[in-house]
Amino acid sequence: MALVRWEPARELNSLQSEMNRLFSTFFDTPAAPQTALRRWAPAMDLVETEGQYILRADLPGMTESDVNVEVEGDTLTLSGERKEEHEAREGGFVRLERAAGSFSRSLTLPAGVDPGSVQAAMSNGVLEVRIPKPEQAQRRRVSIAVGDRPQTVEGDRPPEVEGDNGAFDQPQETRTGA
C-alpha cells in the first residue's frame, strides 16, 4: 500500500475551485433567459471499456484549436470557448437559443493514470478523449514454508509491489500443511 502525503493547501485549493464553480453556475444563470446570455457547457459521456475510459463531448461548430484538454495530477480538464456566430441586422432577431461563451469541465482520474498516454481526437463536432486504465497489480498465490521446505510464489506481479502483501486486502496466502 502506497502512502500519500497529505497537503492541506492542495485540499483547500480543490475546495475553493469547487465553490467557485458552484457559485459561478448559480449566479451566471439569468432570471430572464430571453434577455440575457446563458452559460454554456458541452454535454459529455464517459464510457468504461476493458482497457480504457472514453470521454466524448459534443462541441458543435468548434474546431480543435477552440478546445483545450489538460491533465494535471489526477484531474483531466476540458475547456474552451464557443464564439457567437450571428451578425447584427437592422431588423433584429426573433429568437436566439444557441448559447456561446467559455466553458471548463473537470473529471477526476483514477490513481496511476499516465498523463502522457491520454489521447484526444475530434471528428464531426465530437471530441473523443481516450484514457488508458492504469495497470493493476495482479493477484498471486503464496505458499508458506513449513520446516525445511522452501517458499514458492506463483503468478506475475510488478516488481515495485513485490514486497506488498496487501494487508488491507483479502488474504492471498495459503498454508500447506505438514
Q: Quote the pLDDT of residue 69.
A: 94
Distance CA(27)–CA(25), nearest Å, equals 6
Q: Are 151 and 158 in contact (CB under 8 A)?
A: no
Quick check: 122 pLDDT over 90?
yes
Q: Quote the pLDDT of residue 166.
A: 47
What is the pLDDT averaged over residues 83-107?
73
Give residue limits of the domains in the chain: 13-86+97-132
pTM over 0.75: no
Strands (E), 19-171: 44-48, 52-58, 67-72, 75-82, 101-108, 119-123, 126-132, 141-144, 153-154
Answer whether CATH 3.30.360.10 is correct for domain 13-86+97-132: no
Q: Quote the pLDDT of residue 144.
A: 81
Based on DSSP, count helices (H) and strands (E) in the chain, helices before strands.
Answer: 1, 10
For residue 84, with 0-12 CB atoms within 10 Å meaning exposed, 13-18 middle and 19 or more buried, which class applies?
exposed
Quick check: 48 pLDDT over 60?
yes
Q: Quote the pLDDT of residue 58.
A: 92
Q: What percent of the chain has pLDDT over 70?
A: 63
